[in-house]
Amino acid sequence: MIITITLNPAIDRRMRLDHQVNLNHLNRTKESVREPGGKGITVTRAINALGGDSVAIGFCGGQNGRILKDMMTSMNIMHDFVDVAGQTRVNIQIIDPKGQHTEFNEPGPQISDHDFLRLLEKMEMYLDDRNIFVVSGSLPPQFPMANYRKLLKTVKKANCHLVIDAAGDILREALAFEPDFVKPSLFELADFVGEQPTTDPETAVVRARQMIDAGAQSVCVSMAHEGSVFVSKHHHEALYVNSDPKIEDCGSIGTGDAMVGAIANSLAKGLDIYELAKYTVAMGRACARLPGTEMASLKKVYQVYETVKLYTV
């Protein structure tokens, strides 16, 4: 089973306008969609779409938390959340006719040490060395980094596989626990090495190897329509993977999470690095063809998989 942990979930409300945003004026939307949000929850949705077995855990608060859980239940998303005081956050995304995104993200509720211990207790039933844990997304307000480290230590102590999708200081902390896979974007990788972003595969490989040196066992660098680079501590060859011909995107919302889901599902199936890389890119590209955070079916993923090209770097 794949367990995704979302420490700061959200209800995502996506609004589309037929005009540019008019500040200090009334703006009427032509569409409004509400979905369960938080990177780990989206990863579970991706795993479900691929036919995998996943449960989402984390924290939910107040009426918003109850709504979030009801939404997940209606979408057949298995969940096992810790109920906390305060309100689960609501994130708003406004999309104008040019496809430009304006986002407003709430901070979310504060998590007490007692609530965190309840999460650790809940995790105990999933601490089987055959299971895979995916920890992704931001931390709740004032969440102690010591608690984040304890969370990862708990997973590793049980010899469970660990997949990380994070940025900045959170990513740096996670690398010390030797995660099986990390999936930075080209921008997150650039921030990690202190350089400018690049889509050059050879440069991405060199930078990804710095993450390997810092503790990661394997790294997938996602570079949007420019493909992805895969580097592993256990394989001398690095891989550059893209789909050919390139597929016209409807958007990039949730595609990174879809790729994380494909990585975790591939690990659960015991695929080698070559098949994992091809399925991961196929999942990301297939989801990019769909609106919003809609997850591609296995059939759509296979269609893209047939166009995927893999090169050694």
Residue 208 in this model has a pLDDT that exceeds 70? yes
Tell me if 173 is assigned to some domain: no
| CA-CA-CA-CA torsion sign (121, 119, 171, 208) | positive
**Bridge partners, 132 (sequence order):** 2, 161
In terms of domains, do 206 and 284 share one? yes
**Bridge partners, 14 (sequence order):** 33, 93
Return the pLDDT at 262: 97
Q: Choose the final residue of a domain: 135, 165, 195.
A: 165
Least confident of 49-58, 97-106, 183-192: 97-106
In terms of domains, do 158 and 185 share one? no
What range does the domain containing 64 cover? Answer: 1-165
In terms of domains, do 227 and 96 share one? no
**Bridge partners, 102 (sequence order):** 94
Q: To 5 degrees, how large is the angle CA 44–CA 46–CA 52?
A: 75
Q: How far apart are CA 79 and CA 110, in angstroms?
A: 20
Beta strands 89-95 and 228-232, pairing class: unpaired
Beta strands 54-61 and 2-6, pairing class: parallel
In terms of domains, do 203 and 129 share one? no
Residue 282 in this model has a pLDDT that exceeds 90? yes
Q: Which of 25-34, 167-176, 248-257 has the highest mean pLDDT?
A: 167-176
Tell me if 171 is assigned to some domain: no
Average of per-residue pLDDT across 154-179: 96
In terms of domains, do 189 and 144 share one? no
In terms of domains, do 146 and 215 share one? no
Return the pLDDT at 22: 87
Least confident of 6-10, 29-33, 38-42, 132-136: 29-33
Tell me if 172 is assigned to some domain: no
For 91, which DSSP code?
Answer: E
Tell me if 295 is assigned to some domain: yes
Buried b (16+ CB within 10 A) or exposed e, 22-58: eeeeeeeeeeeeebbbbbbbbbbbbbbbbebebbbbb
Q: Choose the final residue of a domain: 137, 165, 193.
A: 165
Tell me if 174 is assigned to some domain: no
Average pLDDT taken over every residue of the chain:
93
Q: Choose the final residue of a domain: 134, 165, 196.
A: 165
In terms of domains, do 154 and 189 share one? no
User: Could you tell me the CATH number of the domain that includes residue 59?
Assistant: 3.40.1190.20
- Structural Rg of the chain based on CA atoms: 19
Q: How far apart are CA 220 and CA 229, in angstroms?
A: 6
CA 241 remoteness from chain centre: 19
Residue 223 in this model has a pLDDT that exceeds 60? yes
pLDDT band at 240 (very low <50, low <70, confident <90, very high): very high
3-36 pLDDT per residue, tens:
999 999 999 998 999 998 888 999 999 989 899 9
Closest CA to 273 of 282, 263, 287, 283: 263
In terms of domains, do 157 and 223 share one? no
Beta strands 218-222 and 228-232, pairing class: antiparallel
In terms of domains, do 15 and 151 share one? yes
Tell me if 170 is assigned to some domain: no
Tell me if 175 is assigned to some domain: no
Q: What's the structural domain count of the chain?
A: 2
In terms of domains, do 112 and 59 share one? yes
Tell me if 16 is assigned to some domain: yes
In terms of domains, do 204 and 128 share one? no
In terms of domains, do 137 and 262 share one? no
pLDDT band at 252 (very low <50, low <70, confident <90, very high): low
